[in-house]
Chains A and B, each alone.
Chain A
Amino acid sequence: MITRIELAQKEQYHDAEGKAILAGARDLGVRALTAVHAFRVYYFLGELTPAEQELIAVRLLADAVTDDWIINALLQRSRGEFWSAEVALNRGVTDMVAESARKGAIDLGLRAVEAVRTARRYELCGSLSAAEKELIAQKLLMNKVVEHLHQPGERLFFPAEEPPFELIHVSLLQASGEELMKISRERDLFLNLTEMETIQAYFRSLQREPTDVELEMIAQTWSEHCSHKTLTGLVEFEGRVIDNPLKETIFRVTRELNLPWCVSVFKDNAGIIEFDDDYNVCFKVETHNHPSAMEPYGGANTGIGGVIRDPMGTGLGAKPIINTDIFCFGPVDLPHDQLPRGVLHPKRVMQGVVAGVRDYGNRMGIPTSNGALYFDERYLGNPLVYCGNVGLIPRDKCEKQVVPGDYIVVVGGRTGRDGIHGATASSGELHSESEGTWSGAVQIGNPIVEKKLVDTLMQARDLGLYRAITDCGAGGLSSAVGELAKTTGAEVDLEFIPLKYHGLTYMEIWISEAQERMVIFVAPDKLEQALAVFAAEDVEATVIGRTTTDHKIRLRYRGQVVGELEMAFLHDGQPRIVRKARWDPPAIAESEGAQPASLGEILHRILAAPNVCSKEWVIRQYDHEVQGGSVLKPLVGVVNDGPGDGCITRPRLESHRAVILANGLNPKYGLIDPYWMAASAIDEALRNIIAVGGRLERCALLDNFCWGNTDKPDRLGGLLRAAQACYDMALVLGTPFISGKDSLNNEYKTESGESIAIPPTLLISAIAVMEDCCTAVSMDLKRPGNALYILGETGKELGGSHYYEAIGHSSSAVPRVDPARARALFIALADAIAAGLVRACHDCSEGGLGAALAEMAFAGGLGAEVTLCDLPRSADLLRSDWALFSESNSRFIVEVIPGKEEEFRARFMQLPCARIGEVTSGPRLRIRGLIGELVVDEAIDLLKNSWQETMRW
C-alpha cells in the first residue's frame, strides 16, 4: 500500500521556488506562463490506517502555521488552464529527505513504514505548447541526469532482488592490439595500448585471464586521475627528456627549501604544516570539473564533500575547519540561442554549483570563507570547480601505521551504484553526449552522513582506536584499500560491504564511488570499542576484511576469489608514458590605441566586469561564521560589503593564533604565457596573505593545474612552463608547495568535432599561520586625512588585462614577477603591518590601481584624492590610462596615519614606494594622472553601484 501526501505553503506565504521558476521561464522567453505553484510530495510504502496517515501529515510533514496538506489527492492551486508536472529522482539516486522521513515516521511509532520516496510537483499556469513544456522541464524543473518527470501510476518502490552471481573473465591473453583497444574502449577503461599490453603480459605470466574486477581495478589505479601519469611520466621538451616534471619542479622546491615546519608534504591526502604547540593544519584543494559540467548541483556538492574527506583522511584524521571554493564558468549573460547542444547554460551551472557547495558546506558546519569566480567563454563546455578544505590535526596524529592482521573497516555511507567509473571518466574528454553516457558517474552527496562520520571519527581517533585511515574518493574502495594496504596486502569479502540497495555486482561494489565513506584499519584488540563509538551515534561501521602479509589484494565474493593482484604490479607496474611537449608563444597582435577620453567611465566598466564585480550574491549564501573563529571575513568595510583579501580564521577559540587563506588565479595570462600566469598566481595568492597581516615565513602553497588535453604537445609545453615558474618563484620567495593536484583533458568536443580547450588554468592556494590575529588589517579606507601610499612598480604590462578586454585591445606584455624584489617588499610590508603602521591595505590585481583604489574607497565609505605623478614606474609607462589599469604584480595600496608616515617610509627605503595622496571625507574618488591632469572624478556610491550591479541577482 502506498500513501501519497502532498503539501504546500498556504497561499499567503511566499512561494520562492515557484517565483524562481516563473522568472527563469521569462528568461527563456516563455511568455505564456502566468504563475507557478510548487508542492512537496511524499510517498510512504507500508500498511497505514487513515488515522496513521493523518498522523504523519500533521505531526511529521506539515508546519501547522504555514502548510496545507492532503492525502492521496492534489492540493490544486491553479485556476484556468495549467500543466501539472511531478519530478522524481531516478532509481538509485540518493533520496536524503526520504531517509529522514522514514526515521521521523518510526519516531512516531509507525513501524509499518517500510520505505519513503519524495517528489516535487508543480502547477504551471497558462497555455503552454508541448515544446514550451519540454523546455521548462529540461531547463528549470529538473536535471535529467538524476531526475525525471514522474507519470501517474509509475512504479516508485522496487522489491529487493539479489542478482545471480556470475564470475566474469575478460579474454585478454590472445587478444590482438586492436582487440585490446576495443576492450579498453568498450569497458570505459581509458587505458592506452602500451598499458593494455602490459596488463596482457602480466596475465600471460599468471597463465590466466583477468576477471572484470581486476581489469577495472588496474584501470582505476592507473587512471590519470589517480596516478597523474602524465606529469609523473617522461616528457621530451626543448631537446631533453624530463623524468617526472612534477618531481623536477614542485616537489623539488619543497625539498630544497627544506623547512622544518613542513610536517608532511605530497605523501598523504593533504599537506601538513605546523600550527601551534598542540596542533598542525593540513590543506588540500581538488577539482570536480566533469561531474559539475553534467550535474552542477551534485557535482559541486560531492566536490566539496570529497575534498573535506581529504583532511579527514590525512594522518589519523583532521577536523575540517575552513572551505574554499574557486569556480570558472562560461559567460553568464550568454544568449540561450548561442548555447551549444548538450551544454548547460553557464548561469544555470553557476547557480547549481553555488547551491551544491552551499548546501554541503553549510550542513557540515564548515565556514566557506574564501573563494574566487572567473568567467571566460572557453569554460562554456568545461567549467572548473575547485574545492578546498583546511583541517586541524593534533601533532601526534599525523602519521598512519599499516600492519598485517588489522581489520579493514568501512565507515559512513553505504555503497550504491552511484559514481561508477568516475575516476576513469574524469580522465577523458567531455562531449555533447556526455550527460547520457556518464550519468552513472554523477553522485549526490549527503552532508549529514559525512557530519556524523567526522563527529565519530574524531572521537575514535582521540581514543586511539584505529591505526590508519583514508577516504574513499575517486576509485572508491578499490583505490582506498589498494593504496592504504600497499605495503602489506589485503583481503576483502565484498558481500560484507553494506549496500544502499540490492542488485550490485561484485565489480560494482568494489569500484563504486558512493560518497561519505572512509576506510580505517583497526587493531584486533580495539575492534569492539571502535565499532561501539560509531554505533553510539548511528554511524554504520562494518568489517570488510583484514590486512595481510602477502603484498596482494585479494577479493572474495560469496566465498569465491573474484580477484587477486600483486600490489607491486598494481602500483608500480604501469608503463611510463613518454610524451612530447612544445611551447610556441602565441601570435598576439600589439594594439594600444589612443587614451580614451573618460577613464572614469572605463573604471565603471572594469568594476562591472564579471571577474572584478562584487560576488556578494555568492558569498552570503555560504556560512562563513560557523565554528565561531572568523576574524577577517570575505566581505569587509563600513557596511560589510567590500572585497576582503585573504580570510583569517581562529581554529582554536581560546587562542588568537590564526590561519590565513588566499588564492591566486590568472587564466587570461595563461593564454599568453603560462610561465607568467603561474608566477602571477603565486604573487597574487601571497599578496592576499601579506595584505591582511600574514608573513612569508610561515606560508605554504598548493598547486592545482587544470589543463586541456596534454597528449597534445603544445598544451603540455605550456604546463611545463607553468611548473617551471612554480619552482623559480617558490624558491626565491621561500614558500614551499605542500600538496597539489592536476586535472587534464579539460576539453569539450563540439558537435562539429572541434575540440575547445579551457584556458591553461593554474590555481595557487596559499595558507599562512598568523601568530596574533589582532594585528590584522582590512582593505577599506579608515579615516579622512590619512596618507595613501603605493608599494611596487607599475610597468606597461597590459597583456591579458581587464582594461584591454574592456576597450578591445591586445598585447603579449603579460605582467611579470621579480621574485627577489617581491620577497623584499612582502617582508617589509609584513613588518610594517606588525608594527601597527598600516590602517588599510589592498593589493592591486584585476583592474589594477584604479580598481583597487575604487574598492578601498567605497568599502570604507570615504573618498580619496590621488595623483600619479610620483608613481614608481617603468621607463615605458608613459600614459595615465596604462598607469591606472596595468595589472603589474607585487603592488599594494596602503593607508598610513600621518604621524606614522616617516617610520613607514623608512621601511621601504630601497623599494618602490611613493605617497600618492590621501583619504578624504568627500565621497568622491579623484585621480590625477602622470602629469597632474584630472583623469578620474567619480562618486564612490556610483562606482560601488557599478561594481555591485552585475551580480545583484
Chain B
Amino acid sequence: MTKPRVLVLRAAGSNCDMETHHAFEYAGARAEMIHINRLLRQEVRLADYQILAIPGGFTYGDDISAGKILANELRYKLSQELAGFHQSGKLIIGICNGFQVLVKAGLLPELDLDAGQKVTLVHNDSGKFEDRWVYLKVHESPSVFTTPMPEQVYFPVAHAEGKFAVSYPAVLERLEANHQIVFRYCAADGGSAAYPANPNGSVRDIAGICDPTGRILGLMPHPERHIDPTNHPRWMRDGAAREGDGAAIFRNAVAYFR
C-alpha cells in the first residue's frame, strides 16, 4: 500500500510544522514540509499530494489579523489549485493558525473563494494568549478526520485569537443542520463549558468545523501536540495511555486513502 503524501505548508512564522509532520508520519503518511514560495513558484505541485495540512504558528506575525496574509495568498494566488485539490476528493486540515487561515481564505465553512467571510476567529474574551488543555466533545459529522473517534478527547489550545464567531445567526443554524460542527469545548464530565473549559468564548462552544463534504477540517486545539502519551498533563497521575488522543485524527486521514 503506498503511503499518502502530505504537504505540510510552511510560511514565514509557521511553527507547528515539525510536530504536524511527525504526527502524519506516525500515522503512516509520507509528509513533507513545503514553503509556500515553492508552490507559488510552481516548483512543487499541490496536485501531487493527497493531504494539505496548514499547521499552527503566527504566519506573517499574525499582523493585521491572525492568518490573514497567508489566507490572502491562498485566496488570490492559489485558488485554482486549491479548488482542484478539493474537488478531486483530497483532504485539507488547518490547525490553530491553519484554521484561522482556512476561514479567512474562504475554505471554511465551505469552499467558496469568492464569497465574503461568514465565520471568523477573533480575540479571546480573556483578552490574552492562553495555553491550556481542553476537553472536546466529538460530534457526529461528515468529517473524514474524526471517523472514527471517541466521544470525548483532550487536546491543548494555545492562542490569542480563537473565539469562533459568525456574521449572522443563520450561519450557525446552517452549520448545525449540516452537522459541520465537529468539536465543541466541554467540561471534564462532558457537560457544557464555561470559561476556562471554553477557553476563548466561542459561540456555542465551537472548537472545530468541517465543510459539508467532510474533507476540510479546521480546529483551534492542537491534536498534533497529543500524539505521545507523555504529552498528557496527568499521565504521571493516571498512567500513560497507549497513545495520545490526537493520533486518531491523523490516522483517519491516512486510512481514507487506503
* Contact in complex: A620, B58 (CB < 8 Å): no
State the CA gap A17–B22 with chains docked (Å).
37
Q: How far is the CB of A628 from chain B (nearest CB, A)?
A: 3
Q: Which residues of B contact A628 (CB under 8 A)?
A: 16, 18-19, 22-23, 224-225, 227-228, 231
Q: Does B83 have its Cβ within 8 Å of any Cβ on chain A?
A: no
Say which size band chain B's interface belongs to: 35 or more
| B252 sits at the interface (CB 8 A) | no
Q: Mark A610-649, 1 if CB is under 8 A from B, else 0.
A: 0000000001111111111111110111101000000000
Are B233 and A64 in contact, with the CB atoms below 8 A? no
Q: How far is the CB of A117 from chain B (nearest CB, A)?
A: 13
Q: Is the CB of B230 within 8 A of A631?
A: yes
197-253 of chain B: CB within 8 A of chain A: 201, 222, 224-225, 227-228, 230-231, 233-234, 236-237, 240
Contact of B233 with A640 in the complex, beta carbons under 8 Å: yes
Once A447-B61, A451-B15 are accepted as A-B contacts, the answer to whether A65 and B165 lie under 8 Å apart by CB is: yes
Nearest CB to that of B43 among chain A residues?
A536
Of B46-54, B68-76, B84-92, B175-183, the one contacting chain A is B68-76
Q: Which residues of B contact A630 (CB under 8 A)?
A: 225, 231
CA distance in complex: A60, B227 (Å): 36
Minimum Cβ distance to chain B for residue A833 (Å): 11
Contact assessment for A633 and B64 in the assembled complex, using a CB-CB cutoff below 8 Å = no
Most chain B CB atoms below 10 A, which of A66, A99, A447, A538: A66
Query: Which listed residue (B16, B61, B68, B117) contacts A448, Cβ 8 A?
Result: B61
Contact flag A101-B64 (CB < 8 Å), given A358-B129, A448-B58: yes
Q: Within the complex, which residue of A362, A536, A629, A635 is in contact with B37, where a contact is CB–CB below 8 Å?
A: A536
* Residues in A1-24 with C-beta less than 8 Å from chain B: 9, 13-14, 16-17, 19-20
Q: For the complex, give the distance between the alpha carbons of A17 and B62 in Å.
A: 17
The interface bits of chain A over 643-659 (1 if a CB of B lies within 8 angstroms of the residue's CB, else 0) are: 00000001001101000
Asked whether any CB of chain A lies closer than 8 Å to the CB of B257, the reply is no
The reply on A414 being an interface residue by CB < 8 A is no
Inter-subunit contact B201/A14 (CB<8 Å): yes
Cα(A636)–Cα(B125), bound, Å: 24
Per the bound structure, the CA–CA distance linking A636 and B235 in Å amounts to 10
Cβ of A364 < 8 Å from any Cβ of B? yes
In the docked arrangement, what's the CA distance between A108 and B125, Å? Answer: 31
State the CA gap A619–B132 with chains docked (Å). 10
- Assess whether A65 is in contact with B119, with CB atoms less than 8 Å apart: yes
> How many Å lie between the Cα of A538 and that of B40 in the bound state?
13
Q: List, in ascending order, chain A residues with CB within 8 A of B5's CB.
A: none
CB-CB under 8 A from B104, the residues of chain A are 63
Expressed in whole angstroms, the minimum distance between the Cβ of B78 and any Cβ of chain A is: 11
Chain A 472-502 per-residue mask, 1 if CB under 8 angstroms from chain B, else 0: 0000000000000000000000000000000
Q: A19-B127, A537-B37, A625-B156 are in contact. Are A61 and B64 (CB under 8 A)?
A: yes
Q: Are the C-beta atoms of A776 and B72 separated by less than 8 Å?
A: no
Find the A residue at minimum CB distance from B116.
A64
Q: How far is the CB of A157 from chain B (nearest CB, A)?
A: 19
Q: Once the chains bind, are A451 and B122 in contact (CB under 8 Å)? A: no
B118 CB–A CB distance under 8 Å: yes
Q: Once the chains bind, are A538 and B12 in contact (CB under 8 Å)?
A: yes
Contact A107 B73 (CB under 8 A): yes
Q: Assuming the A-B contacts A65-B167, A537-B35, are A625 and B230 also in contact, with contact meaning beta carbons closer than 8 angstroms in the complex?
A: no
Are B122's CB and A13's CB within 8 A?
A: yes
Assuming the A-B contacts A9-B122, A65-B167, A448-B61, are A14 and B237 also in contact, with contact meaning beta carbons closer than 8 angstroms in the complex? no
Interface core residue of A362, A446, A776, A777 (most chain B CB under 10 Å): A362
The answer on a CB contact under 8 Å between A100 and B64 is yes
Task: For the complex, give the distance between the alpha carbons of A626 and B228 in Å.
Answer: 14
A100-B237 contact, Cβ under 8 Å, with A66-B165, A536-B37: no
Tell me if A103 and B37 are in contact (CB < 8 A): no
Interface residues of A in 88-113 (CB under 8 A from B): 96-97, 99-101, 103-104, 107-109
Min CB distance, B13 to chain A, in Å?
Answer: 4
B128 within 8 A of A: yes
Whether a CB of chain B sits under 8 angstroms from the CB of A867 is no
Inter-chain contact B166/A65, CB cutoff 8 Å = yes
Chain B residues whose C-beta falls within 8 Å of the C-beta of A576 in the assembled complex = none
Residues of A within 8 A of B201 (CB): 14
Tell which of B58, B72, B225 touches A107, judged by Cβ atoms closer than 8 Å. B72
Closest Cβ of chain A: how far from B44's Cβ, in Å? 12
B72 and A104 contacting across the interface, CB-CB below 8 Å: yes
Shortest distance between the CB of A630 and any CB in chain B (Å):
6
Nearest-neighbour CB distance to chain A for B119, whole angstroms, equals: 7
**CB-nearest residue of chain B to A630:** B231
A774 at the interface (CB under 8 A from B): yes
The answer for the CA separation of A782 and B235 in the assembled complex, in Å, is 11
Determine whether A805 belongs to the interface, using a CB cutoff of 8 Å to chain B: no
The answer on a CB contact under 8 Å between A96 and B61 is yes
Interface: B120 (CB within 8 A)? yes
Query: B174 on the interface (CB 8 Å rule)?
Result: no
Quick one: CB contact mask for B119-149 with A, threshold 8 Å, 1 for yes? 1101101111111110000000000000000
A451 pairs with B12, CB closer than 8 A:
yes
Counting chain A CB atoms within 10 Å of each CB, the highest count among B14, B23, B64, B225 belongs to: B64
Contacts known (A537-B12, A623-B129); A63 close to B76, Cβ less than 8 A: no
Asked, given contacts A103-B69, A620-B132, whether A773 binds B230 with beta carbons under 8 Å apart, the answer is yes
B127 touches A16 (CB 8 A): yes
The distance in angstroms between the C-alpha atoms of A577 and B65, with both chains bound, is 53
Q: Tell me the nearest residue of chain B to A446, going by C-beta.
A: B61
* B233 pairs with A633, CB closer than 8 A: yes
User: Is B122 a contact of A101 with CB atoms below 8 Å?
Assistant: no
Q: How far is the CA of A653 from the CA of B133 in the complex (A)?
A: 20
Q: Which B residues lie within 8 Å of A860 (CB)?
A: 237
- A636 to B133 CA separation, bound complex (whole angstroms): 11
Query: How distant is the Cα of A624 from the Cα of B222 in the complex, in angstroms?
Result: 12
A9 and chain B: residue at smallest CB distance: B122
Does A780 touch B at the CB level, under 8 Å?
yes
Note all chain A residues with C-beta closer than 8 A to B156. Answer: 625
Q: Is A452 an interface residue (CB 8 A)?
A: yes
Instruction: Answer yes or no: A363 CB below 8 A from chain B CBs.
Output: yes
Asked whether A621 and B130 contact (CB < 8 A) given A13-B165, A65-B120, A653-B227, the answer is: yes
- Does B10 sit at the interface, judged by CB under 8 A? yes
Chain A nearest CB from B176 CB (Å) reads: 18
Contacts of A491-546 to chain B: CB distance below 8 A = 536-538
CB-based contact B158/A60 at 8 Å: no
Q: Which residues of A contact B132 (CB under 8 A)?
A: 620, 640
Query: CB-CB < 8 A to B64: which residues of A?
Result: 60-61, 97, 100-101, 104
A63 contacts B22, C-beta separation under 8 Å: no
Q: Check A63 against B117 for contact (C-beta < 8 Å).
A: yes
Contact B58 A64 (CB under 8 A): no
Q: Are B15 and A365 in contact (CB under 8 A)?
A: yes
| Chain A residues, Cβ within 8 Å of B65 | 63
Q: Is residue B45 within 8 Å, beta carbon to beta carbon, of the partner chain?
A: no
Q: Which residues of A contact B69 (CB under 8 A)?
A: 100, 103-104, 107
Is the CB–CB distance between A14 and B127 below 8 Å?
Answer: yes
A712 part of interface (Cβ distance < 8 Å)? no
- In the assembled complex, the CB of B24 is this many whole angstroms from the nearest CB of chain A, namely 12
Q: Which of chain A's residues have a CB closer than 8 A to the CB of B128?
A: 16, 621
15 extra A-B contacts, CB within 8 A, seeds A100-B64, A628-B228: A9-B122, A448-B60, A451-B12, A451-B13, A452-B12, A623-B129, A625-B131, A627-B16, A627-B19, A628-B224, A630-B231, A633-B233, A640-B233, A650-B228, A656-B230
Top 9 nearest A-B pairs (CB, nearest first) are A365-B15, A16-B127, A628-B19, A100-B63, A65-B120, A64-B117, A97-B63, A778-B236, A448-B61
Measured CB to CB, the residues of B under 8 A from A are: 10, 12-16, 18-19, 22-23, 35, 37-38, 56-58, 60-65, 68-69, 72-73, 76-77, 104, 116-120, 122-123, 125-133, 156, 158, 165-167, 201, 222, 224-225, 227-228, 230-231, 233-234, 236-237, 240
22 residue pairs bridging A and B, Cβ less than 8 Å apart: A63-B120, A99-B63, A104-B64, A104-B68, A365-B16, A365-B57, A448-B13, A452-B12, A537-B35, A622-B131, A623-B158, A625-B131, A626-B16, A626-B56, A626-B225, A628-B22, A628-B227, A636-B233, A640-B234, A653-B18, A653-B227, A777-B236
